[in-house]
Amino acid sequence: MKNWKFYNAVFIRLLFVMLPFFFAVFLVYKNFRFNAVLVGFFAFLMLFEMYFFVKNQLLFYDKTLLSILQSDFSTNFPEEYKKANFKNLHLLYNKLKVQQQEQTSKELIYQSILNNIDTATLILEKENKDWNIFLMNDCFSTLFKVPKVSHWKYLKNYLPSLCNEIEDRGFTELKSAISIKIEEQDLQTFVLQTSHTKTYNKEYFIILLDSIQRVIEKKEKEAWINLMKIISHELMNSLTPIRALSQNLLHIVDQEQLEEDDFEDIKSSISTIINRSDHLQVFVENYRKLAMLPTPNKQMTPINLLLQDCMRIMSPVLKAENIELINEIDSSRSILIDKNQMEQVIINLITNSIYALKEKPEKKIFLSGYTENNRFFITISDNGRGIDAEIRDKVFLPFFTTRKDGAGIGLTLSKNIIEAHGGYLSYQTYEDKTSFVICLI
């Protein structure tokens, strides 16, 4: 960056130093010593003035650059310097000042967004080998009754269980449930999710905590919304044609004279209304099955006996569909269940496997089981076409089905029965295999 005004000022001052110096030498040569001393003194004053001029210029440069490096833009740039020797420096200073103000504004917006979300959020920043708290949102501070401390070691005094869990995992990414005691209250369970990110030479660790109860409520709300959509869809599919046909019938009977074709229309309309009414009745009955599931009548039942009865019931269907059922369960254990309800679950799952194997040349269903932590697991697998990714979150949704003749309550009913027994029903799907897992106590 060239600054000709500065160079000119230094050059002029240098001339005012050099000319008196050479003139003083000339006077000494002519034996005008007293005059030479006066001229030399003037040259020294000019040299002294040039020194402080250059020093002040460089000092201002140094202070301004140091201010920029420290991101301190609180000092106003002197007006006389904005158009003089420091014009370009002023432009740089002002540009960086505006950028810092914009960055500060963005940070305030991001912080405001984080403070308004109802998920407890904590962001750590790594300095050397230690983690410090970069940001703690209001939800985290309020939920855990923690002041907005700046150091990880201080946070450990308030939430040792959380901090120890994260430290034990080595600040790695994880997603799990964790129990945290808040002050003198009972232990509360939260969903813990962490992530790790790097930007430039900075390293950040993000911690998100959600109340299990809030997650459950959110899932329940989503389930109810989806259920209402399905129920509304089913009702409208029947009520819309019933209403249209009823209006058509009213129009026909209002005629003074009925033709033979009118009677055919009446019969056809009434037949359709009956069919749609039957469909609605079946739909309501299926809903009642889900909503009014009886309490399981539990008795100790041998596992082998349960499976043998299920296989005997399904044997004709399996044979007709040319499906090989391989039972790998051979357990003498008995479990406390409602045998009739559990048979219904296993039959539902085998029926679903039969449907999944429709287009397969080689059809196989596998039954397997194992015991873990005093729980018995039954796995029903098939080599069918699997569950498409876009419907995996809907398989347990009431009345959702991909089958033309399906009611969409089999999996929902099975899940409700297993949960009524204190267990759970889950599934795993791959390209060439789908497994439903029943967990029983």
pLDDT tens-digit readout, 198-229: 877 788 999 998 876 666 566 666 666 666 76
* Predicted local confidence at residue 426, as pLDDT: 84
pLDDT tens-digit readout, 337-383: 888 888 888 888 888 888 888 878 888 888 888 888 778 888 888 88
DSSP-assigned letters across all residues of 20-66? HHHHHHHHHHTT-HHHHHHHHHHHHHHHHHHHHHHHHHHHHHHHHHH
* Predicted local confidence at residue 42, as pLDDT: 78
pLDDT tens-digit readout, 113-155: 888 888 889 999 888 888 888 889 888 888 888 888 888 888 8
Q: What is the mean pLDDT of residues 79-108?
A: 74
pLDDT band at 84 (very low <50, low <70, confident <90, very high): low
Looking at per-residue confidence, does 78 or 399 come out higher? 78
pLDDT band at 1 (very low <50, low <70, confident <90, very high): very low
- Across the beta sheet with 434-440, the strand order is 324-327, 364-372, 375-382, 434-440, 424-429
Looking at per-residue confidence, does 73 or 175 come out higher? 175
Q: Token digits for 22?
A: 């050479």
Tell me the fold of 117-212: Beta-Lactamase (3.30.450)
Which residue carries 């209403």 as its tokens? 243
Across the chain, mean pLDDT equals 77
**Strand pairing of 187-199 and 202-211?**
antiparallel
**Strand pairing of 324-327 and 364-372?**
parallel
Q: Quick check: 426 and 436 in contact, CB under 8 A?
A: yes
Q: What is the mean pLDDT of residues 65-78?
A: 72
pLDDT tens-digit readout, 158-196: 888 888 888 888 888 888 777 777 766 667 778 888 888
Alpha carbons 141 and 134: distance in angstroms, whole number: 14
* Predicted local confidence at residue 252, as pLDDT: 79
**Domain 299-440 CATH assignment equals 3.30.565.10:** yes
pTM of the model: 0.43
Looking at per-residue confidence, does 214 or 300 come out higher? 300
**Domain 216-292 CATH assignment equals 1.10.3470:** no
pLDDT > 70 fraction of the chain, expressed in percent and rounded: 79
DSSP-assigned letters across all residues of 76-88? PPPHHHHTTTTHH
pLDDT band at 394 (very low <50, low <70, confident <90, very high): low
Count each helix (H run) and each strand (E run) in the chain, helices first: 12, 12
